[in-house]
Amino acid sequence: MKRITIRTDLMSKSNYSKKFMVSRPTIDTKIKNGELSVERIDGVDYIKIK
């Protein structure tokens, strides 16, 4: 049986944009500028919540 780990320190881009009222292009710009740290899991970018 595979163990599932729930990560509470990560948030998807869509959930981040809904919670903080920020557009997706703005999130992508912040990621490129290094303002947001990202972890990629299975080809999906998740924003690290500090």
Kindly report, residue by residue over 8-48, the tens digit of the pLDDT. Answer: 999 999 999 999 999 999 999 999 999 999 999 999 999 99
Of 1 and 24, more confident: 24
The pLDDT value given to residue 2: 85
Spatial CA neighbour of 11 closest among 34, 31, 2, 29: 31
Q: Which tokens belong to 49?
A: 């919540």
- Looking up tokens 């290094």, which residue turns up? 34
Residue type, 30: K
Which helix (H) or strand (E) is 47 found in, with range? strand 44-48
pTM of structure: 0.77
Of 17 and 7, more confident: 17
Give the angle subtended at the CA of 43 by the CAs of 39 and 47, to the nearest 5°.
30
Check if the beta carbon of residue 27 is closer than 8 Å to that of residue 46: no
